[in-house]
Structures are given as C-alpha cells and as structure tokens.
Structure 1
C-alpha cells in the first residue's frame, strides 16, 4: 500500500499511537499482529503516512489499554486522519490539544518561533512559567490546573532542548518582553539569566530580540511557530490568546508564514547584540 500524504491529523494520530504503544511496552510487530497487519503498516501510521480503519483503531486501543479519554480523542483524530482530500488547515478542538503540539515539537527537526510581548515558551524559566500561568489561570481556566500546566510546560521544554538528536532552534521575541513584568523583579531577572544560560549551554540555538519601534514588522502584535521535519511537510501555527489550535501544512500558507518569520529574523538584533541587550537589561531590573 503506498504511503498516504502526511497531514497534521495523520501525524498527530501516529505520534499519539506511538506514545501509547511505547507506554504499553509493545513492539510494532506485536501491534501489527493484534490487528492482522504487518509491523510496516504500524510504522507507516506512526510516521503520519497513513491511517487505520475505525475497528482497527478500537482493537489497537484495547491492546494498548488506553483510557476512556484517550480512546475518545484518538478515535476522533482517526476520523480526520482518514479523510482523503487534505484540508487547508486543521483546527484541533479535542481535549489536551497542547499535548499534541508538544508531540509535534518533539518530533520536529527545526523549530522557529516568534513571540510578541513575552518570552517564547520553550525558553521560559520555571518561575516565569509559574507567573505566566498564575496570571492566565485567574482568567482562562481553573486555578487548580496550574501546577499540572507548569509541569507540562517544563517537560515540553525538556523534550525539545534535551532531545537525543539536537534540533535547529531559532527564537525571536519583541523587546517589550523585557519590560512586561510577570511576578516581580526577581522573576524577570531569573528569566533573563535563564535565557543567557541556555544560549551558553546550546551554542547552536539562536536567540534574537526585535527592538521596540522597529519599522515594517510583518508580524506586529502576533506570534508564529514554524515546525520543519526530516521527512514530513512543514507545519505552521499562529497561537491565539484564546480558542482552539489551528495548524497549517499547505504550502500556500506555510510559505508566507516562513517568509514572515525570516523577515522578523532579519529585522531583529543579531544574537551577539541581543545577548548584550539582555545583559544590559539585567542590570536595570
């Protein structure tokens, strides 16, 4: 059977099934046997190059001892993954959407992220994460979810920054992130130190600051995440302050998103000048 076109939905399905299989301690051969397929078919699905029929998914989820919530979510993704005609975009309205974004980031070979007004999530210090989630939790969700969200964000960072195969990471954020206080001055000082330490620890990581007042910023007021993979189409994601996660993987969308990121990358200070600005701002906080 020829490989199907890789889409966001198929990649999410594959990564979720792979995680369940590994948690259950099962091999691809065992998984294939459970549904009367070869391990090759399981491998195709786990790499986003195919989907499974509803009854095969049901059997596999039983074999993996999936929870009721996991079953409901994966079966819903399976419906989307089986669509023959790829859609221009995919909006993830299912529970635990951030888990699937984290899976995509962990699987990517290159991550480019631009944020406006805050430090990018992957380079936030633990205290900055807590302060950000505390503020958000007072409005957007129940406060008793806060610690779980903090733990999730820190694990997401670990999966990306400590990956066995190092990723190409480029972060650009606007200068006002340095003055938009979260928590108190000590939190902001710790955040700046955290970024400087990451820059020293990961010399291949690129961190740049886009100065306030920079003219002709094509992403003014917004944010972008662009994920590239070794053997899958590029995925673009424009985070929103509220609402479901929408992904794009058609070139008609990901190409301009890539151009927008390259433009803010060009407009931003060099990594060396950005480092100097961070050190200077550390003295002022």
Structure 2
C-alpha cells in the first residue's frame, strides 16, 4: 500500500530537498553528515515521515540554513490553536532549562486554569470562532505539560498584585485560578513572587516579558504583544532585561509572603 504524504510534512520535505540541491549534495552525501540514513532522509523529503527537531537541527547545521528547517518543523508540528507568531517562543519554552517571567496584566499562560485561559484568550482576540478559541485553549493547556515532565524547567514568576485582584470570570473561576497558582508555587521548581501595589513605579511597567535560558546557557528575551512575540538573543537586550527582572524580584515579596498575599486575595473573593 502506498503511503500518502502529509501536507505539512511534505512542505518541510520539499524545502529540505531545495536546500540540499542548492548545496549540490545528494541524499547520501547529506546523510553522512548526520545521524540519519539516506532512506529516512528520502522519506522525510517525500513527506511520508515527519522530521524530528533534533534532525532539523542537524540539517540546519549541515546545510547552513540559520535555523530555517527547525522553524519549519516547529510550524508543522504546532497545535492548531497556537498562533504562528508564537511558535518560536513556544519552541524555546520547551527547550528551556529556566524560564523567568514578569506578568503585568494576566497570570502566566503556563499557570492558567482552563476557564481563566479561555477568558484571557477571548479578550486577546474577539474574532476567534468557538472552534478556534477551544483550539487555542487546548494548545495553551498542552504547553503547560512542559512544567510537569521528567525534567521540567525552573520557573521564576514575578507578577503584579493587581493581577490577583482582577476578578476574571467572577468569584468561582478566580478562586479556582488562585488555588492552582498556590498549588504550583508549592513545587520546588516553581517560584512565584508578587510585586505589591505599594512598590510604586518600577521597571516592569513597560510590559510583560520572559527570559528563556537554554541548557547550553544561551538566553533569549521574549517580548509579547497581542499580535507578535519576538525572541531576541541580542546580548545587550538580554542583559538589560536580566537586570530588570532581578530588580523586580528584589522589589517583590518573598515567596512565602507572596503565597500569603495570594491566600488573602482568595479570601477576599468569598
């Protein structure tokens, strides 16, 4: 029985073939530079096998593409609810050994309940269809799984006190959300600190950001808006925001005091 190519895999495979041809390399020659057999490479180019991220990285190195194949593979493997402009950040989150995140308006997507996420995503894009909204919610919940795997990244979160006080969805939804936040903060690899309202002006007022440190120590800065999320590895930018994050941590309450404030916010909902 002939195996039909998957459209998303075929698109990746065709680009790999184009890049290989541009480098004047046969499948055998390219395979010798990788941990991939010629037969497997042929299957990937024909779109009947998906390309794993580790193979994509090898292809990018061998063909000197600047990461093009890995980006294409990320898009091909993405959940339908993940916007294309967020794919680079999502990929870095999955690779990260440490995530440092400052939140100004919402709780972090990695720590949101399903109901809270649905309301946050709806507020972010009023044009989403019912199906599109559910796909976006599912994609966000699936992304949270990276925190609960075998080797989860360290997660450091600083959030403004106002995030706790804003009654998203009413008492019941917000109560469940704060319960989940407290539960997450009780795990050794997750640290949550709250920046109190009386801290006054602070360097985080410019907006939400996250720093993603990869296992090889390379760090990316991610600045996200309603319609874009840029992953920046410029050393000056990363260093500046690293200092900003440390300044925010210094202004924020300690983890235990932060947990007490979250409990108070929960109690005020009753």
User: How many angstroms does 1:248 deviate by?
Assistant: 0.8
TM-score by length of 2: 0.72
User: CA shift at 1:126, angstroms?
Assistant: 1.5
Number of aligned residues: 222
In 2, are the aligned partners of 1:97 and 1:245 still within 8 Å (CA)?
Answer: yes
Q: Which has the larger radius of gyration?
A: 2
Q: Per the alignment, do residues 231 and 276 of structure 1 end up closer, same or farther by CA in structure 2, a change over 3 Å counting?
A: same
- How much has 1:100 moved relative to structure 2? 3.3
Q: Is the 8 A contact 2:101 2:156 kept in 1?
A: yes
2:90 to 86, 102, 117: 102
| Alignment check: 8 A CA contact 2:86 2:228 kept | no
Ranges in structure 2 where 5+ consecutive residues have no aligned partner: 1-7, 14-25, 68-74, 76-81
How far is the alpha carbon of 1:234 from its aligned partner?
0.8
User: Matches of residues 198-237 of structure 1 in structure 2 within 5 Å?
Assistant: 198-200=184-186, 202-231=187-216, 233-237=218-222
Which of 68, 82, 87 is matched with 2:65 structurally?
Answer: 82
Quote the residue 1:147 is aligned against: 134
1:273 CA drift (Å): 0.3
Shift of 1:111: 0.3
Relative to structure 1, the CA distance from residue 35 to residue 112 in structure 2 (aligned partners, 3 Å threshold; closer, same or farther) is farther
Q: How is 1:1-285 mapped onto 2 (pairs within 5 angstroms)?
A: 34=27, 36-38=29-31, 41=34, 60-65=44-49, 82=65, 96-139=84-127, 141-158=128-145, 160-200=146-186, 202-231=187-216, 233-240=218-225, 242-285=226-269
If the length of structure 1 is used for normalisation, what is the TM-score? 0.68
State the Cα distance separating 1:63 from its structure 2 match. 4.6
Task: Return closer, same or farther for 1:83/1:135 CA change in 2, 3 Å cut-off.
Answer: closer
Alpha-carbon deviation of 1:39? 6.7
Q: Report SS of the residue matched to 2:90.
A: helix
Cα shift at 1:221: 4.3
For structure 1, the residue ranges without an aligned partner over 5 or more in a row are 1-15, 22-32, 44-56, 68-73, 85-91
State which drifts further: 58-67 or 97-106: 58-67
Tell me the secondary structure at the aligned position of residue 128 of structure 1. Answer: helix
Measured in 2, the distance between the counterparts of 1:220 and 1:126 equals 27
Greater mean alpha carbon deviation, residues 98-107 or residues 222-231: 98-107
Separation (CA, whole Å) in 2 of partners of 1:96 and 1:104: 14
Q: Distance in 2 between matches of 1:95 and 1:185?
A: 30
